[in-house]
Structure 1
Amino acid sequence: MPPPAPAPAPEWSPSDLELERRAFRARASRRSVLLALLSTVVFAALVAAFVIGTPGWRSVQQTFFDPEVLVSAWPRVIEGLWLNIRVLVVASIGVAVVGTLLASVRTLRGPLFFPLRFLAAAYTDVFRGMPLLIVLYLVGFGIPGLDLFPRMPMEFWGTVALVLTYSAYVSEVLRAGIEAVHPSQRLAARGLGLGYVASLRLVILPQALRKVTPALMNDFVSMQKDVGLISVLGAVDAVRAAQIETSASYNFTPYVLAGLLFVALAFPTIRLTDWVTARQRRREQQGSVV
């Protein structure tokens, strides 16, 4: 006669004490959200009342917040913003490639690669210290003056200046991430038969990127903002379009519109950066592998 089948294990359920704790935490969370919302509304109302009550508010409103001027300037400014977005996409790819190459060169070992390390270090020192506005002028007006290249649109030279400047910042962030990876990881990869390039690509860089992701995303947010500086070269982006509309209407509302569009462009990345930073902090605090 076969032995009787074992009785099924009872399903786990939280105790009454645990249920009370969960309910208390939920009530405390809802109370915190309501208090934060109420305090924000009260603070915004006080600030609005103070600004509107100032003697010059009517003049400022007509000069910077005119709805009719905003509507008339919208098509031209939004068309210029698409140019900023295209430049941002191309510049991001270029910065990623050049920054990775510079970081890899600066981490090369041995006296044979000293000239390459020196050139990479000199590059990062120069372009991290030089203001982006000056780089834009030098690249946008200096290089075409050499007559070595065919005539190119100014957004092209603006993209080149952005790549030159931000690749220096990104390369240093990546280099810090590479050097933060424990040397045993590199030795283990070489022990498995991987060459320098393969170990860097498959073992070192993935760990380094996880360590410096928040810093890289902050650099991307900064580049989203600075891409508007290509207007100094004459490219008709959102800022230049706002300047043209302002000259036609003698009203600064188009500049406010362009600024709000840049904020809307950067807002998702800013929130994503905060989420990634908080997630990484939680994982480190609970002892998991980052």
Structure 2
Amino acid sequence: MQPAQRAADKAEEFPWWLAAFAVMAVAIAVVIAFSDIYGQVFLVVSKGIGITIGVALIAFLLATLLGLGIALAGLSDSKALRQASRFYVEVIRGIPILVLLFYVAFVGAPALVALYNLIAAPLVEHGFLDTLLVRDLSLLWRAVIALTIGYSSFLAEIFRAGIQSIDKGQIEAAKALGLSRFQRFRLVVLPQALKVIFPPLSNDFVSMVKDSSLVSVLGVSDITQMAKVYASGSFRFFETYSILAYIYLLLTISLSLLLRRVERRMRATG
């Protein structure tokens, strides 16, 4: 290949979009550093970054575990488990995340507390436990539960597709070697399925970070809620929501780049 052609190929492959974003990000950072207004907005809104990342991480971890369990139930030999898994996936996927947040927070949480008090009533009477009040279940955890339930249905389908992509001949060979069902899944199916499901899983994690902004409707102090409170008090809507969008872009694009790097390494070691 000629040097000119190689240079042209490298120029074509160069992530110009990323360079443009980097220039924009640096320009906004300079504005934040030298502008009292934007600097103050950034300081206020950024206080919610820990809540945003924490909610996304915890909810995604729980959704991954729940989704894997639902996927395995959907692939089991039991017809009842398969039908229950399909029912869960189809129903939950049909409910918007925002509606699910409201339902879990204001319907599911009181019902859960009432069920706990009913079961724990004998222990409460003897002083071993205290009666649980609805306010004892914080809105933060209600939001985490709602995101967990909502995303578990999508992750279940990702796990199911990844597991089913494994050649059945390998599973039969593992069975012939005397491996148990759990050993076949842990040693043969899961390592190969992870390479298939990692890209959609990483995409869903980035989506989880963005959808975590919905928890602000419950008053959870994430960056969106911090921005809403500041903007409503200062009436600086342009500055506040510009900074909010900037922070979300930094979070999501950084995560996307990191996860793509991990994905390339997984392919290289495969």
Same fold (TM over 0.5): yes
1:11-66 deviation per Cα after TM superposition (whole angstroms, max 9, x unaligned): xxxxxxxxxx46445443466579x86xx88xx9xxxxxxxxxxxxxxxxxxxxx9
Aligned residues: 236
Tell me the SS of whatever aligns to 1:236. Answer: coil
Which of 74, 79, 83 does residue 118 from structure 1 map onto?
83
SS in 2 for 1:108: coil
Higher Rg: 1
Contact between 1:69 and 1:254, CA under 8 Å: does it hold in 2? no
Confirm whether residue 28 of structure 1 aligns to residue 28 of structure 2. no
Deviation per CA, 1:110-133: give whole Å up to 9, x if none.
Answer: xxx111111111111111111000
Structure 2 letter corresponding to 1:213: F
- Distance in structure 2 (CA, Å) of the matches to 1:78 and 1:31: 36
C-alpha distance in 1 between matches for 2:265 and 2:255: 15
Gaps of 5+ in 1: 1-20, 45-65
Where does 1:98-247 land on structure 2 (aligned, <5 Å)? 98-109=66-77, 113-146=78-111, 147-148=113-114, 150=132, 151-247=136-232
Query: How many Å separate the matches in 2 of 1:181 and 1:30?
Result: 35
| Higher RCO (Cα < 8 Å, 6 or more apart) | 2
Q: What code does the residue aligned with 1:189 have?
A: A
Distance in 2 of aligned mates of 1:180 and 1:30:
34
Q: Matched residues, percent identical?
A: 29
Greater percentage in helix: 2
TM-score (norm 1): 0.73
What does residue 50 of structure 1 align with?
A: none
The alignment's C-alpha RMSD in Å is 2.8
- Mapped partners of 1:127, 1:33: distance in 2: 40
Distance in 1 separating the partners of 2:190 and 2:7: 44
TM-score (norm 2): 0.78
**Unpaired runs of 5+ in structure 2?**
24-33, 117-131
Alpha-carbon distance between aligned partners in 2 of 1:225 and 1:248, rounded to the nearest angstrom: 24
Summarize the Cα distance change of 1:104–1:254 in structure 2 as closer, same or farther, 3 Å threshold: same
* Aligned CA distance change for structure 1 residues 94 and 276 (closer, same or farther; 3 Å): same
